Amino acid sequence: MDFNLTYEQKMVKEMVRKFAEEEIVPVARENDVKEHFPLEIIKKMAPLGFLGALIPEKYGGAGLDFISDAIIFEEIGRADSSIRTTLSVQVHLVGLAILNWGSEEQKEKYLPRLCKGEILGCFALTEPGAGSDASNLSMTAAFTDKGWVLNGTKTWISNGGIADISIVFAQTDKSKKHEGIAAFIVEKGTHGFTTKEIKGKLGLRASNTAELIFEDCMIPKDALLGKVGDGFKVAMSALDNGRYGVASGCVGIIQGCIDACVKYAKERHQFGKPIGSFQLIQEKIARMVVDCDASRLLVYRAGGLKNKGIKNTFETSIAKYFASESAVRAATDAIQIFGAYGCSNEYPVERYLRDAKVATIYEGTSEIQKLIIGYHTLGIKAFG
């Protein structure tokens, strides 16, 4: 197994790091405080290929591999997880879902525009009563001569308030349970479709999060993504990619904690010497380094399988679980190293902690990741 990055991957890393340092880092604190969604930064990513990293060039994407994709999300996550969230939804949950499940007409209609940043997308699966139990959807889709009629509510949808297209999951036949779920592409401005922004979040404060409301929302027949009954498979395959993006971003958080703590531990003096000389400070930083390396390697393992087209739910869940929990641990230790300053937004470590905690919840909680890992290990399902 070759652990070295290719020349192209090194160039991607250098380009993304430069962009993040120049465009994202200087405004990350202000955007977090003001809960400002930085559309202007997202638009600047499009010419660099970030919005279509994994989409083939045929559809306007950059056609990169999954390791290059992980590098992008690590570097963006190191700068600001809010922007990483927006990007992950755009690429992993929306772009790849359309690429893998859409008709040729849907691919040609939406993918080039997603890659150019002309439109943004969201992935509407979670409901007030259906979070971890994604098969228990209350939202309905009724087929008529004129098309599909959607009724229901989605909540905690990243990009939901600013998205131009939404991939929406609804139940077509409750008697069929998860086999009755279908996925649809719903365009902004469709009659009967409204959104309500969610503010006051613990973390990811500069990302857009919203509630989506559908009241007798009529959409055309060709809005169906895949076939009726494919919806649950569409959602689960998309989450395998979404979790990969979250894990990659968490590697960035851990690396950001290391970078911040190394610098601070050399500059901060107590008892007549830099605090970096203290054994317990070194112990905390050493643990961050080990967790960062382990998380990155787990992400790359999953990415290697994705590059080969091999099923990777197990490996991706391991990477998402370990990296997100490690990011919380790293940020907690970073705040301890910074002391009182760590509790202030003068430094990024308190934002790292808030953002990392969210990463243990969305795209499947740490508890759900453990159950997925348990199922693949034991062959026994802990839930339906």
In terms of Cβ atoms closer than 10 Å to its own Cβ (0-12, 13-18, 19+), residue 309 is exposed
Please give the domain boundaries of the chain with CATH numbers for all domains: 7-120 (1.10.540.10), 122-228 (2.40.110.10), 233-378 (1.20.140.10)
- Residue 200 amino acid letter: G
pLDDT confidence of residue 384: 64
Instruction: Label the pairing between strands 121-124 and 165-171.
Output: parallel
Tokens of 254: 């851990």
Per-residue exposure over 146-171, b if at least 16 CB sit within 10 Å of its own CB, e if not = ebbbbbbbbbbbbbbbbbbbbbbbbb
Q: pTM of the predicted model, to two decimals?
A: 0.95
Whole-angstrom distance, CA of residue 263 vs CA of residue 27: 20
Find out whether 242 and 72 touch, Cβ atoms under 8 Å.
Answer: no
Residue 139 near residue 79, CB atoms below 8 Å? no
Which tens digits make up the pLDDT trace of 73-96?
A: 999 999 999 999 999 999 999 999
- The reply to whether 30 belongs to the active site is no
pLDDT computed for residue 103 by the predictor: 97
What is the SS3 assignment for 61?
Answer: coil
Report angle CA 73, 164, 147 to the nearest 5 degrees: 125
For residue 221, what are its two tokens? 């027949």
Q: State the Cα–Cα distance between residues 143 and 172, nearest whole angstrom.
A: 8
Per-residue pLDDT at 145 = 94
pLDDT block averages, 10 residues each, the chain of length 384: 90 98 98 97 97 97 97 98 98 98 98 98 95 87 96 98 98 92 97 97 97 98 96 95 97 98 97 97 98 98 96 97 98 98 96 98 95 96 80
Amino acid letter for position 4: N
Q: Which of 74, 105, 363, 367 is catalytic?
A: 363
Q: Which two tokens stand for residue 40?
A: 């202007």
Q: Are 92 and 245 in contact (CB under 8 A)?
A: yes
Q: According to the model, what pLDDT value does residue 40 have?
A: 96
- Longest CA span, the chain: 80
Contact 358, 207 (CB under 8 A): no
Residue 161 Ramachandran class (φ > 0 left, ψ -120 to 50 alpha, else beta): alpha
CB atoms within 10 A of CB 374: 14
Question: pLDDT digits over 211-267, tens only?
Answer: 999 999 999 999 999 999 999 999 999 999 999 999 999 999 999 999 999 999 999
